[in-house]
Structure 1
């Protein structure tokens, strides 16, 4: 049974579900920072997923990164699966811009997180709804 790691629950805002992954927004308005978590129990590494799920994870990651690059006019997309603090498999998809507070350094630990306001989260959800509207797999992803 899939259970979201407590640290991810604490540090993110839920956006919805794709066919495989839960879509989360890191509650740090310094960067549009999204996290995909495969809804599979007890998985900490990509290679632990069934082959079909591995392909689905990369497809969802790639499609989300492409969409976010367009929606947020990214200069660079950072995509990474790290698990040193949270062992549950999760994929970071981070929009980077040359004018963000950490550029060109990594985002981790660079600046204190700035939580989103309710209005900012609503704007992000609306941007994603509009961007996802042409792909039926993504229509229901944003709640």
Structure 2
């Protein structure tokens, strides 16, 4: 297990950093069709939630709750989807997605649904700013 946390290259390429909570790096997926955060515990070598200590597991779920509240504050939301799959990217990460009935993937999962749509530069900067503020990271 490496001693230094490094973000998986695929996650780094698919997201933009919103900021850091006590345990997790908070990332925004670059797909503007969905308000979609990814939380990555900043601990090297973690693959499963069970790889975290009991205290860190509790912190992770608290931070998932914070991410969901931030998404509900800044985006329309009928339902929050939360998932930790790790089939493609093995580094432990949790998706928190604000879903709206009739969105591009409704009612199915967002993974692999259609073609990703990029944010414009000003739009992604504003979304990051509003999420960072909602998470008290600004």
Residue in structure 1 matching 2:117, options 107, 114, 117: 114
Residue in structure 1 matching 2:86, options 83, 86, 90: 83
Residue in structure 2 matching 1:128, options 107, 126, 131: 131
Write the mapping of 1:27-106 to structure 2, written as runs, cut at 5 A. Answer: 27-106=30-109
Per-residue deviation, 1:139: 2.8
Verify the 8 A CA contact 1:31 1:96 in the aligned structure 2.
Answer: yes
Structure 2 portions without partners, runs of 5+: none
| Matched residue, 2:21 | 18
Structure 1 portions without partners, runs of 5+: 133-137
Q: Distance in 2 between matches of 1:31 and 1:101?
A: 8
SS of the residue 1:2 aligns to: coil
| Matched residue, 1:139 | 137
Verify the 8 A CA contact 2:24 2:40 in the aligned structure 1.
Answer: yes
Q: Distance in 2 between matches of 1:95 and 1:49?
A: 25
**Structure 1 residue runs of 4 or more that deviate by more than 4 Å after TM superposition:** none
TM-score of the superposed pair, with normalisation by structure 1: 0.89
Number of positions where the alignment pairs a residue of Structure 1 with one of Structure 2: 135
Alpha-carbon displacement from aligned partner over 1:118-141 (angstroms, at most 9, x marks no partner): 111122123224423xxxxx334x
TM-score of the superposed pair, with normalisation by structure 2: 0.92
Q: Distance in 2 between matches of 1:43 and 1:130?
A: 28
Task: Answer with 122-131 or 51-60: which moved more.
Answer: 122-131
Alpha-carbon displacement from aligned partner over 1:90-135 (angstroms, at most 9, x marks no partner): 0000010013111111111111111111111122123224423xxx
Alpha-carbon displacement from aligned partner over 1:16-61 (angstroms, at most 9, x marks no partner): 1111000111111110111000000000001111111101000000
Verify the 8 A CA contact 1:65 1:93 in the aligned structure 2.
Answer: yes
Alpha-carbon displacement from aligned partner over 1:60-80 (angstroms, at most 9, x marks no partner): 001211221232130000001
